[in-house]
Amino acid sequence: MNRLSRKPPHVIAIYPGSFDPITNGHLDLIERGSRMFDRLIVSILRNDAKKPLFSVEERLEMIREAIEERGFGNVSADTFDGLLVDYARSKGAQAVLRGIRAITDYEYEFPMAMMNRKLDPNLETLFMMPNEQYTYVSSRLIKGVFKLGGDVSELVPPLVVRRMKAKGVAKG
């Protein structure tokens, strides 16, 4: 019997990503995931080829602060290296949570989900949609707008605005 044959008594899910930085869209998904799963582990990829604004440690701190602020008792934050399927197995996770905003996300997500299924047929990828007010929010846009002096305070937690200000990335 494989892990998908029946529902396990305790479902652990991994929410992997870059989180550079965490946004209210991510937090919306974390809240939804915390209601669906017994445990949710938000995990930052360490060996990211993209040039991040924040170090892995800074991103981890921000996620931990945001989780604590919102009182998500069954959510924790972590980092991982290498294959997601190996990491998920090491955590005893049965599911991967990913957010889908628009059809373009689907095109990016589908091959990753299928590759992960090929690598581990027992690991299920589940997609959730954030609240519609966050469907256009991405870490990339947040950084771009903030750098040019735009107001992103309704789209990220205040602690992220403080960190971005401290980085001195804003124009003017």
Query: Could you list the residues that contact ligand PNS (CB under 6 A)?
Result: 16-18, 45, 83-84, 112, 115-116
Nearer to ligand PNS by C-beta: 58 or 170? 58
Smallest distance, Å, CB 9 to ligand PNS?
A: 26
Asked if 165 is an active-site residue, the reply is no
- The residue nearest ligand PNS at its CB is 17
- Residue 4 CB neighbours (<10 A): 12
- For residue 16, list its beta bridge partners: 43
Q: What is the 3-state secondary structure (H, E, C) of 19-45?
A: CCCCCHHHHHHHHHHHHHCCEEEEEEE
- Please indicate whether residue 101 is annotated as part of the active site: yes
DSSP letter (8 states) at residue 131: P
Give yes or no: 138 in active site.
Answer: no
Is the preceding omega at residue 52 within 30 degrees of 0, hence cis?
A: no
Candidate list 34, 39, 43, 139, residue with the active-site label: 139
Q: Which is nearer to ligand PNS, 41 or 45 (CB)?
A: 45
Tell which residue, 70, 93, 91, has the closest CA to residue 8: 93
Query: In terms of CB distance, is 16 or 21 closer to ligand PNS?
Result: 16
Catalytic residue among 50, 70, 140, 162: 50
- What is the C-alpha to C-alpha distance for residues 11 and 9, in angstroms, rounded to an integer? 6
Compute the least distance from the CB of residue 91 to ligand PNS, in Å: 14
Provide the annotated active-site residues.
26, 50, 101, 139
